[in-house]
């Protein structure tokens, strides 16, 4: 066995994945960036290999192939690499391959002949897998074996679902702890978030095929000297010299950003996938220099968004507006990993991805990366906007939120009232709030793109307010009128409410029936009283449903009940 030591929540996830594999062929495992996805799926792969199962780990870039191999070696797991530049190791029970290698002419021939085969497939960054793309083609060519899709962000920029019948291949989802839970455990660092008041104008920028802002058109809006200059200025004032990654729109933009930082006396380098700009050897050297702290930062486009592991990164500089929550979370997650001597992290949002002012009111776009996300719809996906659409992603309004003119802190007047604190002055610097601003939360004067720190607790409180209002609304029209929801979103809220009610009713019925039959106390066995069930969140309800079903299966087997018990797992790890 390898020398992997799992954390308690990783052990719990492994157990849930085992249970899921009893009845399903493809399991989607969701764990936030920094939660230890690699450790978890390496443990599963190694355990399966020790049972005589052939395991294939599939990644989508050469850099990630090397990174996965490095992790496996560090964990003491014998493995082979399937790549043109690698020496084959056919006897190894665990193999690592890039999706492009398997889709090459040689790779397809090896798949067809059975030379490359697997009893368990593991797709890293599994949100890429769709039934009709190259990842799905590999899964199909290998005979659709048991498959584990691993991702931190199971949504897709193109809004397609990850479940069977909705574009993907997954049967069921297993979720690990949320980001707030991992932060509380010390497994992640909550970044301090600063929002710029001078943002690029993205009005009218069309959407690409994936539903995000068109990069070519966007580049003309963001590649401006004053916007880049603001980024350098705020980095200097907020967190100078911290190891940083700046996310840009394209290579030309990244070059301009690099040059601006270097002109200010910092050491930034370009890290992009264009081999004509940065060779493979140079990329490796730059990553090593960043890891050792020999340079201050890197300017990249998408190369660092997924799967890139450099825990020493402290600051994320967002210069690329995105409608994709997935892109936003992947980028922000680069700086949330803990590291020796690392006590804080920063997110400098020069793109309005966290939130922005709209007509004198602060509205949240993707919100804080440190809050919990609802992935309940990831299997079915969401409605996609038409290609070429110029309608921007719908922001969320949180009444009561305002901004200090002096220090640019964003805070909630209503929350200050609830806490019994003065609601006429900034809670950070004590600057008085003008009466007209208290009443209308008007937008303060923009001062040279200054950044203002956003307090995650404030936004969390505002979300509670919105949820309370949402709970009061009973119809689509009430949701649209009171909260400004679109018709589609309002319908989704009411449908989710209906599904939760059905889940609650089913659980209460089965729990009470089990109590009447066995005479046992529900709270003693399941850790929850019946009066608490209605207040549980959907994820907690699904977990309780699973525990109850598993318990009933064992009870039926012991008592001789004729109801069929759970099937035995076909993958033993």
Query: For residues 313 and 484, what is the distance between their CA atoms, to the nearest angstrom?
Result: 38
Residues 284 and 248 in one domain: yes
Contact at 8 Å (CB) between 333 and 33? yes
pLDDT tens digit at each of 573 positions of the chain: 566 788 889 999 999 999 999 989 999 999 998 888 888 999 999 999 999 999 999 998 777 788 788 888 888 899 999 887 778 888 899 999 989 989 888 888 888 888 888 999 999 989 999 999 999 999 999 999 999 999 988 888 777 899 999 999 999 999 999 998 999 889 999 888 887 878 899 988 988 877 789 999 999 999 999 999 999 998 998 899 999 999 999 999 999 999 999 999 999 999 987 776 778 788 889 988 998 999 999 999 976 555 466 788 999 999 999 988 888 998 999 999 999 889 999 999 999 888 877 776 667 788 788 888 878 788 988 765 554 444 444 444 444 556 666 656 566 566 567 667 787 787 666 778 755 445 444 333 333 455 666 666 655 665 666 666 777 777 766 776 666 565 666 777 787 888 888 888 888 888 888 888 888 888 888 888 887 888 888 888 888 888 888 888 887 777 766 543 333 334 566
For residue 149, the surrounding DSSP H or E stretch is strand 146-151
Sequence length of the chain is 573
Same domain for 145 and 31, yes or no, is: yes
Q: How far is CA 545 from CA 129, 179, 527, 567, in A?
A: 28, 23, 13, 17
Beta-bridged to residue 27, according to DSSP, are 148, 172
- What per-residue confidence (pLDDT) applies to 437? 46
Do 153 and 251 share a domain, yes or no? no
pTM of the model: 0.71
d(CA 72, CA 49): 13
> Domain boundary at 371, 406, 434, which?
371
Q: For residue 359, what are the domain limits?
A: 189-371
Query: Are 154 and 204 members of one domain?
Result: no
Q: What residues form DSSP beta bridges with 361?
A: 358
**439 phi and psi angles, rounded to 5 deg:** -75, -40
Q: What are phi and psi of 227, to 5 degrees?
A: -70, -45
CATH number of the domain bearing residue 271: 3.40.50.300
Cα–Cα distance between 462 and 525 in angstroms, integer? 36
Q: Are residues 29 and 82 in the same domain?
A: yes
Helical segments of 390-526, H only: 413-418, 435-440, 456-472, 476-483, 487-518, 522-526
Q: What pLDDT, on the 0 to 100 scale, is given for residue 568?
A: 36
Number of domains forming the structure of the chain: 3
Own/partner contacts of 76-82, CB < 8 Å, gap of 24 or more, are 76/2, 76/3, 76/4, 77/2, 77/42, 77/45, 77/46, 77/49, 82/107, 82/116
108 with 48, same domain? yes
Q: Are residues 102 and 204 in the same domain?
A: no
Q: Are residues 168 and 238 in the same domain?
A: no
Q: Quick one: 334 and 299 in the same domain?
A: yes
According to DSSP, the β-strands at 315-318 and 346-349 are parallel
């Amino acid at each position: 066995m390898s020398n992997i030591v799992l954390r308690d929540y990783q052990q719990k996830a492994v157990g849930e994945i085992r249970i899921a594999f009893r009845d399903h062929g493809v399991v989607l495992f969701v764990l936030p960036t920094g939660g230890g996805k690699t450790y978890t799926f390496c443990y599963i792969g190694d355990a399966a290999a020790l049972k005589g199962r052939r395991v294939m780990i599939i990644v989508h870039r050469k850099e990630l192939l090397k990174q996965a191999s490095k992790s496996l070696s560090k964990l003491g797991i014998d493995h082979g690499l399937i790549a043109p530049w690698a020496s084959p190791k056919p006897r190894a029970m665990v193999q690592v391959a890039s999706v492009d290698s398997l889709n090459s002419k040689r790779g397809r021939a090896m798949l067809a002949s059975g030379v490359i085969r697997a009893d368990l497939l593991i797709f890293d960054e599994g949100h890429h897998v769709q039934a009709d793309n190259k990842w799905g083609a590999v899964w199909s060519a290998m005979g659709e074996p048991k498959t584990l899709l691993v991702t931190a962000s199971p949504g897709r920029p193109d809004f397609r679902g990850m479940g069977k019948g909705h574009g993907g291949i997954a049967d069921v989802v297993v979720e690990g702890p949320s980001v707030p839970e991992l932060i509380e455990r010390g497994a992640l660092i909550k970044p301090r978030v600063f929002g710029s008041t001078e943002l690029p104008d993205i009005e009218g920028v069309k959407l690409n095929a994936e539903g995000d802002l068109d990069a070519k058109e966007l580049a003309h809006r963001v590649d401006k000297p004053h916007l880049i200059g603001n980024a350098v200025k705020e980095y200097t004032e907020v967190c100078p010299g911290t190891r940083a990654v700046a996310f840009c729109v394209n290579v030309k933009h990244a070059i301009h950003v690099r040059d601006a930082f270097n002109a200010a006396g910092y050491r930034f380098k370009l890290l992009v996938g264009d081999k004509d700009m940065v060779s493979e050897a140079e990329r490796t050297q730059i990553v090593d220099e960043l890891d050792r702290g020999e340079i201050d930062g890197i300017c990249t486009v998408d190369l660092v968004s997924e799967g890139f592991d450099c825990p020493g990164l402290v600051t994320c500089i967002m210069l690329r507006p995105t409608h994709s929550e997935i892109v936003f979370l992947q980028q922000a997650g680069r700086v949330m990993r803990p590291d020796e001597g690392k006590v804080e992290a920063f997110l400098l949002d020069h793109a309005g991805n966290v939130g922005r002012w709209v007509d004198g009111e602060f509205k949240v776009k993707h919100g804080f990366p440190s809050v919990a996300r609802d992935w309940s719809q990831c299997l079915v996906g969401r409605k996609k906007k038409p290609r070429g659409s110029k309608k921007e992603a719908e922001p969320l309004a949180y009444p009561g939120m305002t901004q200090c003119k002096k220090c640019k802190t964003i805070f909630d007047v209503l929350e200050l009232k609830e806490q019994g604190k003065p609601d006429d002055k900034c809670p950070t610097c004590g600057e008085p709030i003008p009466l007209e601003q208290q009443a209308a939360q008007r937008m303060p004067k923009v001062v040279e793109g200054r950044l203002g720190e956003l307090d995650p607790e404030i936004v969390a409180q505002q979300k509670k307010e919105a949820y309370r209002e949402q709970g009061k609304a009973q119809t689509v029209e009430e949701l649209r009128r009171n909260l400004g929801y679109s018709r589609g979103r309002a319908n989704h809220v009411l449908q989710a409410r209906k599904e939760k009610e059905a889940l609650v009713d089913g659980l209460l019925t089965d729990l009470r029936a089990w109590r009447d039959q066995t005479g046992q106390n529900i709270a003693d066995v399941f850790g929850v009283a019946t009066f608490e069930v209605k207040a549980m969140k959907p994820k907690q309800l699904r977990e309780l449903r699973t525990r109850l079903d598993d318990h009933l299966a064992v009870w039926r087997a012991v008592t001789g009940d004729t109801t069929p018990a759970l099937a035995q797992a076909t993958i033993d790890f």
